[in-house]
Structure 1
Amino acid sequence: MNRTELIKNFKSKAFKDLPTIYQQIKLFESSKEILYNANIIIFQSSLINHKKRLSLLKIINDLSVQYEIPFCIAHNLTLLIKLNRELGVKKNLIKDSHKAIDLWRSIIDEPLAINGLIFTYTDLGLLFSDFNLNLLAIKYLDKASSLIDECENRYNPSVKLNVAYSIVYDKMRKYKKSKTHYDKVIKLAESKNDTITIIPILINKANNLIKRKKNNLAKEKCEIALRISKDNNDEIYKPYIYHSLGKAYLNFKDFTKSKKYLYKALDLFDNMNIVKMEPDVLYDIGLSLYSNNKTSDSIQIFKTLLRKNKKIKNYELDVKTLKILLEIYKKNKNHKLYLSTIDKLNKSLEDSLKYKSKIFSDTNIDALEYLSNENNIASRKENDLKIKLDIESNKRKLTTKALVSFSEREFLKNIINKLSNQNLTNNNLIKLCNDRMMHTKNWDVFMKLFNDIHPDFNRYIISKAISISESELRVCNLIKMNFSTLETAEILAITIRGVEQHRYRIKKKLKLKTDLTVFLQSI
């Protein structure tokens, strides 16, 4: 298929909800530019709901695979992961995230690939935070942070990363750290006059204030967010703002305004097909009606909530809702409904425990599997090579023979240098050592194994630091393979101080402000 045939796809019925997309993408010359910009147009469009957005992105994914454009495949997968997470579809997202990470790493020297890698690490961090694995979340956010200085355009990755840090630190109740990152985002956004980026920050701050019963401040944040949203013709953030305003007014016991904003939020979430948010809004509507003594109306809302929540499996919300229904039935002395609701509550509690156990188990299995791969603990089967790294036992079996022999070679090289510098006449010894070195190809064996695992790593390092020496590159390779400073010193037959000096020079040549090990293991 050529460019013309590719563009024709955007005239199909599938894209009828985006009438201008054909005119927009036909301006681009290459297939890569067409598919990359199609991803962006679909992802950012306010004309379609999330369900439609998902189906269109899958079409772009198929086209990217058909045209064999790795960058567009990685970009599309990154957007699909983010969208699925927003829709509450979390199955296989950890595996998909690591697939995206591997794709970005394989094209790391392409423009914007670093940005893509940062976004993927950040979304993976947020995904782990969704499961309350917050320390693991911070680990991946730190990986993303180590790459920020490598970006061509740091603004969007910096904003996303700092928002993510704030969200995770909020969950960890480290509010000072959270505020620090939120303030960084606001400062960045103001420097670019990017007011719309401030909206989710204001919403998150408002929700935290509502939890702490600081409702006046929360209402103020929501009103600022709503004003910015209207000024920018935004439709994406409006339902979230209305939901927060509804909750604030509920705390004020202003039931009329609370109901007004909550129903606005519900309608918009429904139109956008963001089904995972609907039960939460229905809960607040039911609570508002119940607090306003409209018991029968609240019962109907809570029943609707329970029905909609079956697909989402938010068991905690089920439990909260059933507890309120129990309270209502007890007051009304409706013993039959009270007893049947107790049964439902017990079942929900059991289902909640089972679901949490399964999710936690599955998530940890996926997490451990990929952490093992990242740290090279797990065996890597490579047709002819069968490399094994075992950090916990046998002190890494990866080409031990090769590295021991290489260490011996380095030792011999030191002997030669010393003998040469002292102008000794023992030419036979020097020649013998030289011959021994010439026939020792073990570092070459190691490099072949290393390049099979990380084919683009050395090319990327050399492109970032042209003046990097062979010795420094070797140190980079060993850091990437998770060898400690002591082990690196032993392998290269140099002192620990020598390794530290290499690390210092490498960091300087790469112009890094972040930790060298985290950076090298992140690319």
Structure 2
Amino acid sequence: MYNILKVTLLFSLFSLFHIKAQYKSRDNIRLNYKKELDMYAEEYRNDPNTYLNKFEELRQNAISENYHDIAADCLYYKARCFYFNNKTDSSVANAERAIEEAEKYNIIYVKAKTKGLLALEFSRKGLTDRAIDQLEDALQMLPVGDHNNRALLSAMGIQIAFHGNDSQKEDDYSDSCLREARLSGNKTRLRSAYFAKGKMSLESENYVQAEAYFKKAAALSDPRDNFQNAHLHMAFGELYFKQQKYDSAISRQMNALKSAMIVKDKRLLLQIYNQLKKSYKATDNIKNYQLSDENSIRLRDTLDVLNIHQQQAVLRAMEKELKKSHEQEKNNYVMACAGALFILLFILFLFLKHYKKTQKLKNVFLEKEVLLNREQQKNKQLEGELRKDVLADLLSSATENHPLFLNKYKKVYPAFFETLDKLSSELTTEDLKCCAMMHMNLSAKEMAGYTYSSIRTVENRKYRIRKKLNLCSSVDLNKFLMNV
């Protein structure tokens, strides 16, 4: 027995250590995937096409290990790669997939920043108001303590406000980005915030403040990030040009040119050459001005060819969309016609139904009128003979709420109850009793006092009797019953 317990204990300890080792191994795998994702996230802007494959490979590995947050985040960065390549359709498609996965596995931060990316796409299309609304929704999703992603969304807001020429929003998002970036300690976000504040100061011609912000951004720059460094050097070049420090401007613009050549961004190169042309012209350096102009023309021609291919692709997409739109319009027209016809038939049906109901009510009223005329003659003869003796007895019974009141009234006015029965078979004993009292021309207050109930109760009962007799609201119920 002792040996069995000893073996069991050893086996349990072995299983416990094995499970612990498995969890530790999974944690290590997850940590490695997260480090790899963070590394790609810092570098992908220099070569988006290459990193598309890297993000997809990492995504498949994460899916195989059930790391859904990393897999969804890879989709977001794929969308970012397409965004930097100006491939809107692919960017939006991957962003929508990222949002679907984020919603499925409740990954709030991925959903929020992906909605921010969609806001950037809306901004590119000129839909600034929609873009800002989308971005604000994304910011609302994030907890207050997620400073890193809040800084990222604020940086996106700066771009949206800049494209929409909304200086107030640009200033607000710049302040927010700077505040959140400082709290997060993320150098990349902080650099973007300083750069944005510097650009705004430059636009407002506050050159001292602009230079201070640009220097803070430069202190946080990564030498490997040629895309950001090219923009930073361009900003310094623009600042020094406006200050008429042309040599410093040219020096910065040449540094921007070197970084842009590594990135191979033709549009960025074109902007730098145009800046250099202005600087060389200001210094009367004709030779370098001509060289910059030649390079600018070649780049512009290259971009024109590229734009032609892009336009052809856009035209094909537009033709496809136009055809689809025409088909949709046709379907919408057919549906609209069918809907209109259905509504017309439905209105006609309601009209006919109302007409039949009205005619039926008219016929009923005519029949009731004929019955009333017939019975009135009989009632008058009977009432003349019995009125003096019977009325006093009936009034006394009604006043005392005598249980035999209704039976007495039926004996005195049988035609009255026969008529009521013909008019409606749904009247209860209490309804008939109430009708008898109204036939005696008693008010609601008197009826309430005699039956020991409230006036509201009496009025409700009168309302139900009116409904059962199919009388419209314009008919005085007391007068009607008195004439039955």
How far did residue 252 of structure 1 move? Answer: 0.5
State the partner residue of 1:93.
Answer: 51
Alignment partner of 2:269: what SS? helix
Q: Is 1:183 matched with 2:136?
A: yes
Out of 98, 108, 128, which is 2:82 matched to? 128
State the partner residue of 1:267.
Answer: 219
How far apart, in 2, do the equivalents of 1:198 and 1:333 lie? 47
* Contact 1:28 1:34 (8 Å CA) reproduced: no
How far apart, in 2, do the equivalents of 1:262 and 1:205 lie? 20
State the partner residue of 2:203.
Answer: 251
How far did residue 253 of structure 1 move? Answer: 0.3
How far apart, in 1, do the equivalents of 2:191 and 2:135 lie? 21
How far apart, in 1, do the equivalents of 2:82 and 2:240 lie? 35
How far did residue 230 of structure 1 move? Answer: 2.6
Out of 188, 191, 197, which is 1:239 matched to? 191
How far apart, in 1, do the equivalents of 2:305 and 2:233 lie? 25
How far apart, in 2, do the equivalents of 1:83 and 1:155 lie? 21
Q: Is 1:30 matched with 2:13?
A: no
Structure 2: state its 5+ residue gaps. 1-19, 315-484
* Contact 2:198 2:210 (8 Å CA) reproduced: yes
Out of 176, 188, 199, which is 1:224 matched to? 176
Alignment partner of 1:236: what SS? helix
State the partner residue of 1:137.
Answer: 91
| Superposition pairs of residues 333-348 of structure 1, within 5 angstroms | 333-348=284-299
CA deviation vs aligned residue, 1:160-198 (integer Å, no higher than 9, x gap) = 3222222222223322332233122211114x5434322
Q: Is 1:112 matched with 2:75?
A: no
How far apart, in 2, do the equivalents of 1:252 and 1:85 lie? 33
* Contact 1:101 1:120 (8 Å CA) reproduced: yes
* Contact 1:210 1:248 (8 Å CA) reproduced: no
How far apart, in 2, do the equivalents of 1:183 and 1:260 lie? 30
Q: Are residues 290 and 27 of structure 1, via their aligned partners in 2, closer, same or farther at CA, if it must alter by over 3 Å?
A: farther
How far apart, in 1, do the equivalents of 2:95 and 2:47 lie? 21
Out of 159, 172, 176, which is 2:125 matched to? 172
The one of the two structures with greater contact order (alpha-carbon pairs below 8 A, sep at least 6) is: 1
Compare the two structures and name the one with the higher helix fraction.
2
How far did residue 338 of structure 1 move? Answer: 2.3
How far apart, in 1, do the equivalents of 2:172 and 2:133 lie? 20
CA deviation vs aligned residue, 1:349-377 (integer Å, no higher than 9, x gap) = 3555678899x89x99xxxxxxxxxxxxx
Q: Are residues 142 and 207 of structure 1, via their aligned partners in 2, closer, same or farther at CA, if it must alter by over 3 Å?
A: closer
How far apart, in 1, do the equivalents of 2:114 and 2:304 lie? 32
CA deviation vs aligned residue, 1:54-92 (integer Å, no higher than 9, x gap) = xxx4xxxxxxxxxxxxxxxxxxxx555534424x12243
State the partner residue of 2:329.
Answer: none
State the partner residue of 1:155.
Answer: 108
Q: Are residues 174 and 210 of structure 1, via their aligned partners in 2, closer, same or farther at CA, if it must alter by over 3 Å?
A: closer
Q: Are residues 182 and 111 of structure 1, via their aligned partners in 2, closer, same or farther at CA, if it must alter by over 3 Å?
A: same
> Bigger shift: 121-130 or 257-266?
121-130
* Contact 1:269 1:275 (8 Å CA) reproduced: no
* Contact 1:210 1:247 (8 Å CA) reproduced: no
How far apart, in 2, do the equivalents of 1:217 and 1:146 lie? 29
How far apart, in 2, do the equivalents of 1:337 and 1:168 lie? 38
Structure 1: state its 5+ residue gaps. 1-25, 44-56, 58-77, 365-523
How far did residue 98 of structure 1 move? Answer: 4.2
How far did residue 212 of structure 1 move? Answer: 4.3
Q: Which amino acid aligns with 1:171?
A: R
How far did residue 248 of structure 1 move? Answer: 0.2
| Superposition pairs of residues 354-393 of structure 1, within 5 angstroms | none
CA deviation vs aligned residue, 1:206-239 (integer Å, no higher than 9, x gap) = 2333344444542343223322333343433110
Q: Are residues 91 and 189 of structure 1, via their aligned partners in 2, closer, same or farther at CA, if it must alter by over 3 Å?
A: closer
* Contact 1:242 1:262 (8 Å CA) reproduced: yes
Identity %: 11
How far did residue 157 of structure 1 move? Answer: 2.5
CA deviation vs aligned residue, 1:97-151 (integer Å, no higher than 9, x gap) = 444455455x3xx5433x3432233222222222222123222222233333420
How far did residue 297 of structure 1 move? Answer: 1.5
How far apart, in 1, do the equivalents of 2:307 and 2:221 lie? 26
Alignment partner of 2:48: what SS? coil
* Contact 1:329 1:337 (8 Å CA) reproduced: yes
State the partner residue of 1:203.
Answer: 155
State the partner residue of 2:358.
Answer: none
Alignment partner of 1:132: what SS? coil
How far apart, in 1, do the equivalents of 2:164 and 2:129 lie? 15
How far apart, in 1, do the equivalents of 2:21 and 2:308 lie? 51
> Bigger shift: 168-177 or 290-299?
168-177
How far apart, in 1, do the equivalents of 2:102 and 2:256 lie? 42
> Bigger shift: 329-338 or 276-285?
329-338
> Bigger shift: 210-219 or 314-323?
210-219
Q: Which amino acid aligns with 1:162?
A: K
Q: Which amino acid aligns with 1:169?
A: F
Out of 320, 324, 327, which is 2:278 matched to? 327
Q: Are residues 145 and 173 of structure 1, via their aligned partners in 2, closer, same or farther at CA, if it must alter by over 3 Å?
A: same
Q: Are residues 258 and 212 of structure 1, via their aligned partners in 2, closer, same or farther at CA, if it must alter by over 3 Å?
A: farther
How far did residue 242 of structure 1 move? Answer: 0.5
Out of 225, 232, 238, which is 1:287 matched to? 238
* Contact 1:118 1:157 (8 Å CA) reproduced: yes
Equivalenced residues, count: 295
How far apart, in 1, do the equivalents of 2:120 and 2:304 lie? 25
State the partner residue of 1:377.
Answer: none
Alignment partner of 1:223: what SS? helix
